Chains A and B, each alone.
Chain A
Amino acid sequence: MSTSTSVRLAIRRLLHPNRSARISPSFLPSLIAPPGSVTRCTPFSTTSPSSYPRDNNPDRGVSSMRRSGPRQPLSISKTALPKPVEVSKLPKVIVDENHGLWQFFHKRDKPMNTPTEDDAHGRPWTVEELRGKSWEDLHALWWVCCKERNIIATEAFERKRLEAGYGEAESKARDLAVRRTQRGIKQVLTERYYSWSDAEALAQKDPEIDLSGDGPLYTPSYFEDQASEELEELEEELEELQEVAQAPELAPETKPGEKPSPNA
């Protein structure tokens, strides 16, 4: 550019003397003076032209990274920025102690068990041990197993999300032990059902069992045939015992070898 800045500005002022007077804002009737009076029009833009840089880029020099701030002050520039509160002084979140979601974790003070704690479990139930359990016990045990597996799954998800590191193997071993207990419960219930249905079919044809509803359900035949004979034998033994019991009172110096013991 051959002309200097000051020369250019002077030329501009000469050519456009009433630059500011030309534009009158029509939307502001208060500013529009009644006809006849001296009109003093205000420019539309409050930004004075000299505040723009030479290339008319309104964002010249504005940088959020370098925290330059806006070129023109905003209404919020008068308000002071709030200072962040320290973490230790933040208000504590009030949590219900009895919230149901606590049941998805082993402990409350940390998101998951350590691998050592996860490994500290016993062996799964065997089918034989479960066979002796009642329906109510098995039902409750199943639910306990389900809840334990939910906890293990929650902690496994957290471990993966936080990239906590070790612990996956112990978690999987614990889950396997719980699943084996559940398998045993299912096995026991299946056995009970199959054997019960087979027994029901056998009972239809069993002479000792009467399923009609009138009279006793089970009348054992064993009692009628052989029990009377056994009763007689028992009565004889009882008499012998009574004789043996009475004899030492009369003659306390009997030889132990003479009278055979009834239990021999």
Chain B
Amino acid sequence: MKPTQALWKRVARHALSTKQTNKGYYKGTGTGSMGRHTPHGGYIIEWDKVRTYVVPKNLKDFKLTPFVTKKIKPTKGRFENDPKGAMSGEAYLARWKSENGED
């Protein structure tokens, strides 16, 4: 659909839409890239890019809910003034060595 001459003047004040130009204005729909275009106008789907949803196997018997009882006070992690805190690689490695290293 292309606007009439009278409407063109009013449409010019709005943001450009994909229905207005002949070509060159591509605007996606927010679904993301699922593959690549071929030189002859086709499209090849790259299945690594396609999102899949994996259902957790223990979902049916899962007892936890999105909420925790208010009787337990919210706890915060202790990182002993480590500036990296939870993202520290050294702490991860040290913990791995003590808990998991000798398996």
Chain A residues close to B by CB (< 8 Å)? 121-129, 131, 136-137, 139-141, 143-145, 148, 177-178, 181-182, 191, 194-203, 206, 208, 217-218, 220
Contacts and interface: CB of A to CB of B under 8 A. Distances in A.
Contacts of A182: 66
11 contacts: A121-B67, A122-B67, A123-B67, A123-B74, A124-B68, A126-B74, A128-B75, A195-B86, A195-B92, A196-B89, A218-B101
B101 A220 contact: yes
Contact of A131 (B55, B77, B102): B77
Q: Top 5 closest A-B pairs, CB basis?
A: A198-B89, A122-B67, A218-B101, A199-B92, A195-B92
B76 A177 contact: no
Nearest to B96: A199
Contacts of A141: 62, 64, 66
B56 A181 contact: no
Interface of B: 54-59, 62, 64-70, 74-77, 86-93, 96-97, 101-102
A198 B68 CA distance: 32
Nearest to A193: B87
B70 to A, nearest CB: 5
B66 A217 contact: no
A198 B56 contact: no
B69 A144 contact: no
Contacts of A194: 87, 89
Nearest to B61: A140
B70 A123 contact: yes
A181 B67 CA distance: 8
Contacts of A201: 89
Contacts of A218: 97, 101-102
B87 A144 contact: no
Contacts of B68: 122-126, 129
A125 B75 CA distance: 9
Contacts of B102: 218, 220
A140 B58 CA distance: 7
A198 B97 contact: no
A144 B74 contact: no
Contact of B101 (A145, A197, A198, A217): A217
A154 B75 CA distance: 33
Contacts of B70: 122-123
Given A122-B68, A123-B74, A140 B86 contact: no
A206 B89 CA distance: 12
A218 to B, nearest CB: 4
A125 B59 CA distance: 18
A148 B66 contact: yes
A209 to B, nearest CB: 8
B38 to A, nearest CB: 35
